[in-house]
Amino acid sequence: MKKLEGKSAIVSGSGRGIGRALALKLAAEGASVVINDIDEAPALDTLREIQGRGGTATVCIGDVTANDFAQRFVDTSIDVFGGLDIIVNNAGYTRDSVIQKMTDDKWQAILDVHITAPFKILRAASEFIRARAKEESANNAEVYRKVVNISSISGLYGNAGQVNYGAAKSAMIGLTRSLAKEWGRYNVNVNCVAFGLIETRLTTALSAENEKTTNIGDTEIKVGIQADRLELIKFLTPLGRAGTAGEAADAVYLFCAPESNFVSGQVLVAGGGLLI
């Protein structure tokens, strides 16, 4: 039997990158997965990939920062799959700048996507989790649920040019540890994975002559890391390289599996040994 057979999961930002790799991993282990992306096309690509491998999934398209998104995301899992067992707050991006050039919009946008949106998703899930946990307790059924929040080594140690991102990812750790204490009574394990350098479309190499952008809703943002800085980060990483999206997803999966039923309030660094 697959380890997550009968479980249902919601993974924000799972149309691409780490989120997509995790959605595929959870589905391969038997979970029914709600795929989310701000754009329809990548979400549907992930859906087709899961279904093509014999897995079960559906989609919930939308911007995680939209006012109506959190409840719609949670309800999709409950309505389609009959429950909610795993919540992964993965969606995000960066808008880097030194503090004197950091606009209010850049600051707020990153806090909105990296900490306010996860808070709203978890708040939306609270009514179902509390009610279902009470039912299970009354029936002497021991069921564990999982929350995995995504942070970064920038949230642990800071990073020049990322006061907004570092602040949001640090807040994610505080949210994780506080909620672990609130939801322990409901048999919910709440943990956090902090990533180092992971290969995604947001961390590709660029140069002054090769500037890359992507659109987040109506906003065009710069993506990528200067090639010389990218090589420096790899050099400083004891394993000598960036992690793959699949390896990042594997780290998150550790907190989704039943082997983590007595692990809560923890931060796992998936960074190849990079701790600065």
Task: Judge whether 186 counts as a catalytic residue.
Answer: no
Let me know: does 188 contact 147? Beta carbons within 8 Å. Answer: yes
> Long-range contact list for 230-237, CB < 8 A, 24+ apart?
230/197, 230/203, 230/205, 233/196, 233/197, 233/274, 234/197, 236/274, 236/276, 237/196, 237/197, 237/271, 237/272, 237/273, 237/274
Q: Pull the structure tokens for residue 51.
A: 């279904």
Contact 58, 35 (CB under 8 A): yes
Of the candidates 93, 165, 186, 253, the residue annotated as catalytic is 165
The residues carrying an active-site annotation are 165
